[in-house]
């Protein structure tokens, strides 16, 4: 069968349109027009240096660039302050519309969708590996290096190789404590840490209709932990309602297309996951692929619990954790750190009384920073320490000392663990405290 005789995946359709072609196929080399480019306080300064060397005086479109200080803010030392100054100066010089100053921003991968800057059909390029997150809204989104981003800043285009697609078909209704985090950890445990190397990871199946937008964003956030180029969820009515609502709130209404894969599209592989049989998953040190059901690791003592990061610091995550922590205290041996992803989320959590619940439980609460996730600050681990985290990576040395151990889990498991001082299924919290 020739290339013209079978259909296209959603990713192929988006990239075909962005490159001005009728169709594209895996392996094709294209120049794609970019809808939005993003950099943070670590990656922007290097991109700015590379942009200067290109020699153009102005960025291609100041309205389609987002610069978000998120990793070391407020500045933790002179070096991080200098990074922020360089990004801030460039934003002012170029009159970048979407520069998010400290105290008015947060973690970019949660901030940008909620700020109405992401829509189905977009091509989004971010100088951060977890830029794959935005695909939950039905767009193509991927992370690149700072030099590649510099080219985007100058031209509005990027060179890409069209990826093959790994289709993941989820069936069944998730149980009470099972969310997107558990589904993606299950996938990575099945395919391995590079099982989707340079693929588009397409999430489909009847389970998707049961997932909130927060869970879908978690699914695509961790595509890179399976080696994927991008993650994507075909848009449905929930997607459209979410995007239109976010656009309306921030006055960013614009048309968009909701593309889906053709019934006769070709996939490199199809993986089927029975979600109804799934229990909360925990990734053991020191790879996401070492994920197992929480029942297999219950009782493991930890020193720190971190609820936050671009993976699990949205309102759904905060409400879940607070519901378990309300009226309870973190175990005396535990350091509990809770970081809502953005200033808006912090304020909403404050309004709903969640911040008070966390504080009463003995948590350290901050707002809008990646911090502990990358071992940056506000929760760095020492030698031999153990942490259960809602973040996306538990590689050796990721959160601090290379001899520290990190487990990954969903917010309910994290809250239950904080209460007992050891890894705990949230279903068992009442019997154990």
Domain boundary residue, one of 237, 271, 305: 271
Q: Which residues contact 41 (CB under 8 A, 6 or more apart)?
A: 68, 69, 70, 71, 72, 73, 80, 83, 84, 87
Residue 2 has a pLDDT of 59
Q: Could you tell me the pTM of the whole model?
A: 0.96
| Domain encompassing residue 166 | 10-253+267-271
pLDDT (tens digit per residue) in 25-66: 999 999 999 999 999 999 999 999 999 999 999 999 999 999
Q: Same structural domain for residues 244 and 318?
A: no
Question: Which residue stretches of the chain have pLDDT < 70?
Answer: 1-3, 430-433
**127 part of a folded domain:** yes
Nearest to residue 118, comparing CAs of 94, 89, 144, 141? Answer: 141
Among 271, 298, 320, where does a domain finish? 271
Please indicate, yes or no, whether residues 43 and 88 belong to a single structural domain of this protein.
Answer: yes
Q: What torsion do the CA atoms of 199, 171, 314, 64 make, to the nearest 10 degrees?
A: 40
Do 422 and 288 have their domain in common? Answer: yes
CA distance 129 to 109: 10
Q: Where are the beta strands (DSSP E) in 104-235?
A: 123-126, 140-143, 157-161, 164-171, 199-204, 230-232
Q: Assess whether 45 and 170 both reside in one domain.
A: yes
- 406, with CB counted inside 10 A (0-12, 13-18, 19+), is buried
- Cα angle 334-339-345, degrees, rounded to a multiple of 5: 145
Q: Is 225 found in the same domain as 351?
A: no
Q: Is 213 found in the same domain as 309?
A: no
Question: How far is it, in rounded angstroms, from Cα 75 to Cα 70?
Answer: 10
Question: Looking at the structure, do residues 234 and 359 belong to the same domain, yes or no?
Answer: no
Residue 157 near residue 31 (C-beta atoms within 8 A): yes
73, part of any domain: yes
Enumerate residues 6+ apart whose C-beta is below 8 A from 270. 166, 167, 168, 169
In a domain, 278, yes or no: no
Give me the pLDDT at residue 433, please.
45
Number of domains in the chain: 2
Is the domain of 231 the same as that of 305?
no
Q: Evaluate whether residue 116 is within a structural domain.
A: yes
On whether both 292 and 225 belong to a single domain, the answer is: no
333 and 383 inside one domain: yes
- Residue 178 within a domain: yes
Is 350 domain-assigned?
yes
If we measure between CA atoms, which residue out of 260, 230, 262, 258 comes closest to residue 244?
258
Same domain, 139 and 26: yes
Is the domain of 290 the same as that of 240? no
Give the pLDDT score at 3: 64
Q: What is the CATH number of the domain that holds 291?
A: 3.30.499.10
Domain limit, last residue, from 271, 297, 328: 271
Specify if 5 maps to a domain. Answer: no
């Amino acid at each position: 069968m020739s290339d013209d005789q079978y259909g296209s995946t959603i990713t192929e359709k988006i990239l075909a349109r962005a490159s001005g072609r009728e169709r594209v196929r895996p392996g094709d080399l294209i120049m794609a027009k970019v809808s939005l480019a993003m950099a943070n306080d670590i990656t922007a300064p290097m991109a700015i240096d590379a942009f200067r060397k290109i020699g153009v005086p102005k960025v291609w479109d100041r309205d389609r660039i987002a610069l978000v200080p998120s990793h070391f803010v407020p500045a933790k030392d002179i070096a991080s302050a200098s990074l922020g100054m360089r990004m801030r100066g460039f934003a002012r010089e170029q009159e970048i519309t979407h520069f998010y100053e400290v105290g008015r921003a947060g973690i970019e991968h949660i901030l940008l969708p909620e700020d109405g800057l992401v829509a189905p059909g977009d091509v989004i390029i971010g100088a951060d590996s977890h830029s794959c997150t935005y695909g939950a809204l039905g767009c193509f989104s991927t992370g690149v290096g700072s030099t590649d981003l510099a080219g985007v800043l100058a031209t509005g285009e990027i060179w890409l190789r069209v990826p093959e697609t790994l289709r993941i078909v989820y069936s069944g209704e998730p149980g009470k404590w099972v969310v997107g985090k558990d589904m993606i950890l299950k996938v990575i445990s099945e395919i391995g840490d590079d099982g989707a190397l340079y693929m588009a990871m397409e999430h489909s199946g009847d389970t998707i209709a049961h997932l909130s937008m927060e869970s879908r964003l978690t699914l695509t956030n961790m595509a890179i932990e399976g080696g994927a180029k991008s993650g994507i969820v075909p848009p449905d009515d929930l997607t459209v309602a979410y995007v239109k609502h976010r656009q309306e709130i921030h006055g960013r209404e614009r048309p968009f297309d909701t593309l889906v894969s053709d019934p006769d599209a070709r996939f490199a592989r199809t993986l089927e996951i029975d979600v109804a049989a799934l229990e909360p998953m925990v990734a053991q040190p020191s790879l996401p692929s070492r994920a197992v059901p929480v029942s297999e690791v219950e009782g493991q003592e930890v020193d720190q619990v971190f609820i936050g990061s671009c993976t699990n610091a949205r309102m759904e995550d905060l409400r879940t954790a607070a519901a378990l922590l309300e009226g309870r205290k973190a175990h005396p041996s535990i350091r509990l750190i809770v970081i809502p992803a953005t200033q808006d989320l912090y304020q909403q959590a404050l309004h709903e009384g969640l911040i008070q619940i966390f504080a009463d439980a003995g948590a350290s609460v901050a707002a809008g920073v990646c911090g502990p996730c990358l071992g940056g600050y506000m929760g760095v681990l020492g030698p031999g320490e153990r942490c259960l985290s809602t973040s996306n990576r538990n590689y050796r040395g990721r959160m601090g000392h290379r001899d520290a151990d990190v487990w990954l889990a969903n917010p309910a498991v994290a809250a239950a663990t904080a209460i007992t001082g050891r890894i705990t299924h949230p279903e068992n919290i009442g019997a154990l405290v």
